[in-house]
Amino acid sequence: MAGNRKIAVLSGKGGTGKTLISVNLAAVAGKSRYIDCDVEEPNGHLFLKPFPLSEETVAVRIPVLEEARCVGCRKCADFCRFNALAFLKGKPVLFEEVCHSCGGCVLLCPAKAFSERGKEIGRIQRGPSGSVSVTTGILNPGEASGVPIIRKLLEDAAGEESLPVFIDCPPGSACTVMESIKDADYCILVAEPSVFGAHNLAMVHRLVKLFHKPYGVVLNKCMPGENPSAAYCLENEIPVLGTIPYDKELGLLNSEGSIASRENSRYESLFSDLLRTVYLEVSNEAASDS
Amino acid sequence: MKIAIPVDENKPSTGVCVSFGRAPYFMIFDTVSGENVFMDNSAAASQGGAGIKAAQFIVDAGAEVLLTPRCGENAAQVLSAAGVRMYKTTAGSASDNVAAFRAGNLQPLLETHPGFHGHGR
One domain for residues A240 and A281: yes
Q: What are phi and psi of A187, to 5 degrees?
A: -120, 130
Contact A272/A248 with Cβ under 8 angstroms? no
Q: What are phi and psi of A72, to 5 degrees?
A: 70, 35
The Cα of A97 is separated from the nearest Cα of chain B by a number of Å equal to 9
One domain for residues A159 and A201: yes
- Could you please report the per-residue DSSP string of B48-72? S-HHHHHHHHHHHTT-SEEEES--B
Q: Which amino acid, one-letter code, is at A15?
A: G
One domain for residues A98 and A181: no
CA distance A199 to A208: 15
One domain for residues A156 and A108: no
Residue B69 pLDDT = 96
For residue A101, the domain's CATH number is 3.30.70.20
Query: Is the CB of A269 inside 8 Å of chain B's CB atoms?
Result: no
| Helix pair angle (B50-60, B73-81), 10° resolution | 20
Query: Which comes out higher in pLDDT, residue A144 or A155?
Result: A155
One domain for residues A100 and A13: no
End-to-end CA, chain A:
16
Query: Is the CB of B115 inside 8 Å of chain A's CB atoms?
Result: yes
Is A83 within a domain? Answer: yes
Do B55 and A87 lie within an 8 Å CB cutoff?
no
Contact B79/B56 with Cβ under 8 angstroms? no
For residue A161, the domain's CATH number is 3.40.50.300
One domain for residues A18 and A132: yes
Residue in A89, A95, A144 closest to B52 by CB: A95
Q: Which amino acid, one-letter code, is at A172?
A: G
Q: What is the mean pLDDT of chain A?
A: 94
Do A97 and B115 lie within an 8 Å CB cutoff?
yes
Q: What is the mean pLDDT of chain B?
A: 92
For the residues A265-285, what does the mean pLDDT come to?
95
Overall domain count for chain A: 2
Q: How confident is the model at residue A157 (pLDDT cuts 50, 70, 90)?
A: confident
Q: What percent of chain A has pLDDT over 90?
A: 90
B 52-81 residues with CB below 8 A of A? 52-53, 55-56, 59, 74, 77-78, 81
Strands A54-65, A215-222: pairing is unpaired
**CA A107, A113, A115, A121 torsion: positive or negative?**
negative
Query: Is the CB of A79 inside 8 Å of chain B's CB atoms?
Result: no
Is A1 within a domain? Answer: no
Nearest in space to B14 (alpha carbons), one of B68, B95, B70:
B95
Query: Is the CB of A231 inside 8 Å of chain B's CB atoms?
Result: no
- Could you please report the per-residue DSSP string of A168-182? EPPSSSSHHHHHHHT
B69-89 residue pLDDT tens? 999 999 999 999 999 999 999
Q: How confident is the model at residue B119 (pLDDT cuts 50, 70, 90)?
A: very low
Query: Which comes out higher in pLDDT, residue A26 or A143?
Result: A26
Residue A1 pLDDT = 45
Nearest in space to A77 (alpha carbons), one of B117, B72, B82, B25:
B82
Contact B101/B63 with Cβ under 8 angstroms? no
Chain A residues with CB under 8 Å of B115 CB are 97-98
Do B46 and A86 lie within an 8 Å CB cutoff?
no
CA distance A202 to B82: 46
Query: Is the CB of A94 inside 8 Å of chain B's CB atoms?
Result: no
Task: State the burial class of residue A205 (Cβ atoms within 10 Å of its Cβ: 0-12, 13-18, 19+).
Answer: buried
One domain for residues A225 and A285: yes
- Domain architecture of chain B: domains with CATH: 2-102 (3.30.420.130)
End-to-end CA, chain B:
36
CA distance A242 to A275: 9
Give the three-state DSSP class for A210: helix
Strands A215-222, A186-191: pairing is parallel
A92-131 residue pLDDT tens? 999 988 898 999 999 999 999 999 999 999 999 999 999 9
One domain for residues A108 and A201: no
Residues with Cβ within 8 Å of residue B33, at least 6 apart in sequence: none
Is A19 within a domain? Answer: yes
Is A165 within a domain? Answer: yes
Give the three-state DSSP class for B75: helix
Is A121 within a domain? Answer: no
Do B49 and A83 lie within an 8 Å CB cutoff?
yes
Residue A162 pLDDT = 81
One domain for residues A108 and A181: no
- Could you please report the per-residue DSSP string of B14-35? PBBPS-STT-SEEEEEETTTTE
Q: Is the pLDDT of residue B118 over 70?
A: no
Chain B residues with CB under 8 Å of A86 CB are 52, 55-56, 59, 78, 81
CA distance B58 to B39: 10
Task: State the burial class of residue B95 (Cβ atoms within 10 Å of its Cβ: 0-12, 13-18, 19+).
Answer: middle
Residue in B43, B48, B56 closest to A98 by CB: B48
One domain for residues A132 and A178: yes
Pairs across A and B, CB distance < 8 A: 43
Q: Which amino acid, one-letter code, is at A202?
A: A
A177-190 residue pLDDT tens? 999 999 999 999 99
Q: Is the pLDDT of residue B35 over 70?
A: yes
The Cα of A83 is separated from the nearest Cα of chain B by a number of Å equal to 5
CA distance B19 to B69: 8
Do B50 and A77 lie within an 8 Å CB cutoff?
no
Contact B16/B67 with Cβ under 8 angstroms? yes
CA distance A134 to A45: 7
One domain for residues A174 and A283: yes
Residue B117 pLDDT = 54
Chain B residues with CB under 8 Å of A82 CB are 47-49
Is A30 within a domain? Answer: yes
Is A218 within a domain? Answer: yes
Q: How confident is the model at residue B120 (pLDDT cuts 50, 70, 90)?
A: very low
B12-21 residue pLDDT tens? 899 999 999 9
One domain for residues A164 and A200: yes
Q: Which amino acid, one-letter code, is at A174?
A: A
CA distance B52 to B49: 5
Q: Residue A102 belongs to what domain range?
A: 67-112
Give the three-state DSSP class for A290: coil
For the residues A66-87, what does the mean pLDDT come to?
96
